[in-house]
Amino acid sequence: MSNYLTRKPMDTGWTFVSMAKIEEMKEFVEGPIESFELPLGIHISSNLNAVLTANYETFSTAIVEEDGDAQPLFGNVFLASRDQEGNPIPLSQNQIEWLSNHSRLVQTPTAQLVMKINPFVSYK
């Protein structure tokens, strides 16, 4: 059993989930999966269809890009590292610390809580 990080839209922060097989990730990210790579080899995965239909009312996680804009991700998100074959593996303690230092909950104009990840700013 391995521990991974996830977040659902109504959650207040990152949550650890235990999975025996990586196929169980589909329980947390429904539909076609899109993955973005963050610093330190952290991969954040979300539903591709949800990423393409962005709106402030539904997104749960946003990544701040180099130009200062936030790339929204929607629905459930799943965070993992990758092994040499590209298979998801649990985040290391160093990756988890980086993620907690570079993410915070913010509120949208519609009062939705969004987890904002900013690689360029440390919130701690």
User: Would you say residue 99 has pLDDT above 90?
Assistant: yes
Identify the CA nearest to 79 among candidates 123, 32, 21, 25.
25
pLDDT at residue 70 tops 70: yes
Residue 82 has pLDDT above 80, yes or no: yes
Q: Are 64 and 105 in contact (CB under 8 A)?
A: no
Alpha carbons 95 and 42: distance in angstroms, whole number: 7
Residue extents of the structural domains in the chain: 2-117
Q: Are 22 and 88 in contact (CB under 8 A)?
A: yes
**Tokens 């040499």 identify what position?**
84
Q: How confident is residue 91, by pLDDT bands cut at 50, 70 and 90?
A: very high
pLDDT at residue 113 is higher than 70: yes
Cα diameter, the chain: 41
- Beta pairing class for 103-107 and 113-117: antiparallel
Residue 108, φ and ψ in degrees, nearest 5 = -80, 170
What does the pLDDT read at residue 96? 93
Confidence (pTM):
0.84
How many C-beta atoms surround the C-beta of residue 72 within 10 A? 21
pLDDT above 80: residue 116: yes
d(CA 46, CA 54): 12
